[in-house]
A and B are shown apart, each in its own frame.
Chain A
Amino acid sequence: MDLSLIIMQLLSGIALGAVLVITALGLTIVFGMLGVVNFAHGALFMIGAYAGLYLASLTGSFWWGLLLAPILIGAFGMLIEFVLIRRLYGRSIDDPLLLTFGLSYILVEAVRIVFGSDGIPFPTPPQLIGVLDLGVGFFPRYRLFVIALVAAVLVVLWLALEKTRIGLIVRAGARDPTIMQVLGVDIGRVWLAIFGLGVGLAALGGVLAGPMRSVNPEMGSLVLAEAFVVTVIGGLGSIVGAVVAGLMIGISISLVALFAPEMATIVMFALMAVVLLIRPEGLFGVRGRTV
């Protein structure tokens, strides 16, 4: 097998991994800070794609859709936190999970009512149509853009969490919310913002995936399962874990596709089972953390 094919394969694995990272990131951040597993994450990913498509056709530009959809859906996420999830803090840890599970049914069906149950075409932005010659082969411009954008989002997130005062509050709040309240921080507002951020990231993932896949009401359900696997392998609540696991899975799927393509879906579940046997808390998870 020649080298250029393997390089191309690696590259498509990284592009695939980038989408996985962005979808898993929101899930893991919300879990890390709030201890809430958002089962509606896949549905919000799908809604993000629809919102991006709608805003893009409204403004006539993909870029406005890409910018506005995550903000709009993120705000919608804050509404969900404020109206529904907030009531469940202090109750069983399963309750927010169950609530968001029910919510995902409502969201998917609402989209079917508004946009119909068929898929809708999501055109690739004109600047990014076509392939780029990388010397070893041709690669779609749009996928290269996705890799770059995800990398940029990761850098911004990392800077915000590590280098700013707000980041400090957020990190401390994740470790011990009670102390933070004693110190006079309104932890409710932090949680509201974090939930909004998580949902906004899901929506961003949806908009980015739109031009690569057909946009339809069921597109979130597969994504949810994938995002779960990534977060479990990486360690729930760990941002670094999500990044490493997302890329690892993307590349594994891609390499398996070379040798046993029909196994491409199974491989990520198998990978997860192996990781769990060796490290039940995931690669970057904190041992003993149970919720």
Chain B
Amino acid sequence: MTSPSSGEAVAEPASNGLGWLLEQRVLLSIAVLAVLPWLLPSQALAVNVLIYGVVVMGYNLLFGYTGLLSFGQAAFFGAGAYFTGIAIGRYGVPWFAAVPIAVLFSTCLAALIGIVSTRTRGIYFSMVTLALAQLVYYVALQASSFTGGENGLRGFTVDRINPFGLQVNFLDPVNKYYVLMAFAALAMWFQSRILNSPFGAVIEAVRENEQRARACGYDVERSKLIVFMLSGAISSLGGCMLALHLSIVPLDILHYQTSGMIVMMVLLGGARSFFGPFVGAAAFLILEDVISVWTPHWQLFVGAIFVLFVLFLPKGIWGTLLDTLRVGKARS
């Protein structure tokens, strides 16, 4: 676990400017996100970058930092959204209480799926998570009295919120963006704490070499389960944000294509880099936005770009960029 980290999982000594900057990753990331709505063509796109950024960030904990390729992250994204919507719409829970409740319930779901799936290894893990997430999809489809089934969950529009006694119109896109950004900031701080903690070093060790980690006395199975739950919890927060943003929960959120999209985003941005998920989410969504205006066959280009990334840029946009910067630093 003292092996030099190729990402930024373990805080590096602030010996140079870049290292110092990377230590401030949470603040820097928030600063970038704060100006995002004014850089992108629409607020709706910026909010999506925020939401998917958080979902992918949670997934990055599992795939990037721990090396577990799950194809079922949509289950937790969706769970966060559904539990938020159900809490607000069905039980009249205020929105600020609905979010932690939803994250808690989603984490329980992650524990259930994790108990089954973390028993398996390698490729098996990918396929099992995929299939279990599909099971969640079908359960949500069937339990229509709770979830609205195929019609999706509706009837929980939050149009006005009162943080610290302020009256804020939540339908205004700018207000909504910054409220949701606060959630994203919280998630980033939480993830950063995990990565900097001793547990962060444990999962790093599990990824590098499971046998060795076990020999060092770590409880690998338990660590995997915990990281699965933490990852699910963070991704579910993205789901809560989506529910508050759209005021609906579409059933498609649970479909395995959503899981696939999350995988694509993390690889585009850069697995095992702190800000990579947001870069990946932005790159994917902008790509889709731009190409789908130009041709209905945008999936052809998205697929091709993804294949090229797997072949030639496995560290993604952000990971490659950081590597280049590091090499530059080392030379100078």
- With A270-B135, A280-B124 as contacts: A87 and B311 at CB distance below 8 Å: yes
A106 with B120: CB separation less than 8 A: no
Q: Which of A103, A112, A229, A272 contacts B307 (CB 8 A)?
A: A103
Q: How far is the CA of A102 from the CA of B312 in the complex (A)?
A: 14
The stretch of B9-17, B187-195, B222-230, B297-305 that contacts the partner chain: B297-305
Q: Which of B116, B123, B126, B307 contacts A276 (CB 8 A)?
A: B116
Q: Is A72 an interface residue (CB 8 A)?
A: no
A84 with B311: CB separation less than 8 A: yes
Chain B residues within 8 Å of A265, by CB: 138
Whole-angstrom distance between the Cβ of B225 and the nearest chain A Cβ: 14
B297 with A109: CB separation less than 8 A: yes
- With A97-B69, A225-B130, A269-B135 as contacts: A102 and B306 at CB distance below 8 Å: yes
A266 with B135: CB separation less than 8 A: yes
Q: Is B267 an interface residue (CB 8 A)?
A: yes
A269 with B310: CB separation less than 8 A: no
Q: How far is the CA of A6 from the CA of B260 in the complex (A)?
A: 39
Q: Is B31 an interface residue (CB 8 A)?
A: no
Q: Is B160 an interface residue (CB 8 A)?
A: no
Q: Which of B126, B139, B267, B300 contacts A109 (CB 8 A)?
A: B300
Q: Which of B263, B300, B306 contacts A110 (CB 8 A)?
A: B300
- With A84-B311, A102-B303, A277-B116 as contacts: A225 and B123 at CB distance below 8 Å: no
Chain A 27-38 near chain B by CB (<8 Å), digits 1 or 0: 000010001010
Q: Is B49 an interface residue (CB 8 A)?
A: no
**A-B contact list, 30 entries, CB within 8 Å:** A31-B123, A37-B126, A84-B307, A84-B311, A94-B123, A95-B314, A97-B126, A98-B263, A98-B310, A102-B303, A102-B306, A106-B300, A106-B304, A106-B307, A109-B299, A109-B300, A112-B297, A225-B131, A228-B131, A229-B131, A232-B128, A269-B134, A269-B135, A272-B131, A276-B119, A276-B128, A280-B119, A280-B124, A281-B120, A290-B122
Q: How far is the CA of A98 from the CA of B306 in the complex (A)?
A: 9
Chain B 111-126 near chain A by CB (<8 Å), digits 1 or 0: 0000010011111101
Chain A residues within 8 Å of B116, by CB: 273, 276-277
Whole-angstrom distance between the Cβ of A103 and the nearest chain B Cβ: 6
Chain B residues within 8 Å of A91, by CB: 314
Whole-angstrom distance between the Cβ of A41 and the nearest chain B Cβ: 12
Chain B residues within 8 Å of A272, by CB: 128, 131
Q: How far is the CA of A265 from the CA of B137 in the complex (A)?
A: 11
Q: Is A291 an interface residue (CB 8 A)?
A: yes
Whole-angstrom distance between the Cβ of B207 and the nearest chain A Cβ: 11
- With A108-B299, A291-B122 as contacts: A102 and B307 at CB distance below 8 Å: yes
Q: Is B256 an interface residue (CB 8 A)?
A: yes
Chain B residues within 8 Å of A262, by CB: 142
Chain A residues within 8 Å of B128, by CB: 232, 272, 276
Q: Which of A35, A101, A108, A277 contacts B263 (CB 8 A)?
A: A101
Question: Which residues of B pack against A, CB within 8 Å?
Answer: 69, 116, 119-124, 126-128, 130-132, 134-135, 138-139, 142, 256-257, 260, 263-264, 267, 297, 299-300, 302-304, 306-307, 310-311, 314
Q: How far is the CA of A290 from the CA of B120 in the complex (A)?
A: 8
Chain B residues within 8 Å of A99, by CB: 307, 310-311
Question: Which residues of A pack against B, CB within 8 Å?
Answer: 31, 35, 37, 84, 87-88, 91, 93-95, 97-99, 101-106, 108-110, 112-113, 221, 225, 228-229, 231-232, 236, 262-263, 265-266, 269-270, 272-273, 276-277, 280-281, 290-291
A103 with B303: CB separation less than 8 A: yes
Report how many A-B pairs have Cβ atoms within 8 Å: 112
Chain B residues within 8 Å of A110, by CB: 300
A94 with B124: CB separation less than 8 A: no
Chain B residues within 8 Å of A229, by CB: 131
Chain A residues within 8 Å of B297, by CB: 109, 112-113
A225 with B119: CB separation less than 8 A: no
Q: How far is the CA of A245 from the CA of B257 in the complex (A)?
A: 25
A104 with B303: CB separation less than 8 A: yes
B132 with A109: CB separation less than 8 A: no
Q: How far is the CA of A269 from the CA of B129 in the complex (A)?
A: 11
Q: How far is the CA of A290 from the CA of B119 in the complex (A)?
A: 11
Chain A residues within 8 Å of B142, by CB: 262-263, 266
B267 with A232: CB separation less than 8 A: no
| Among A94, A225, A290, A291, residue most surrounded by chain B Cβ atoms (within 10 Å) | A94
Chain A residues within 8 Å of B124, by CB: 232, 236, 280-281, 290
Chain A residue with Cβ nearest B303: A105
- With A93-B122, A113-B297, A269-B138 as contacts: A231 and B306 at CB distance below 8 Å: no
Chain B residue with Cβ nearest A288: B121
Chain B residue with Cβ nearest A101: B260
| Among A35, A88, A272, residue most surrounded by chain B Cβ atoms (within 10 Å) | A272
Chain B residues within 8 Å of A231, by CB: 127
* Shortest beta-carbon contacts, A-B, top 3: A105-B303, A102-B306, A109-B300
B303 with A280: CB separation less than 8 A: no
A105 with B306: CB separation less than 8 A: yes
B122 with A105: CB separation less than 8 A: no
Whole-angstrom distance between the Cβ of A82 and the nearest chain B Cβ: 14
B120 with A109: CB separation less than 8 A: no
Chain A residues within 8 Å of B135, by CB: 266, 269-270, 273
Q: How far is the CA of A276 from the CA of B135 in the complex (A)?
A: 14
Q: Which of A37, A87, A266 contacts B138 (CB 8 A)?
A: A266
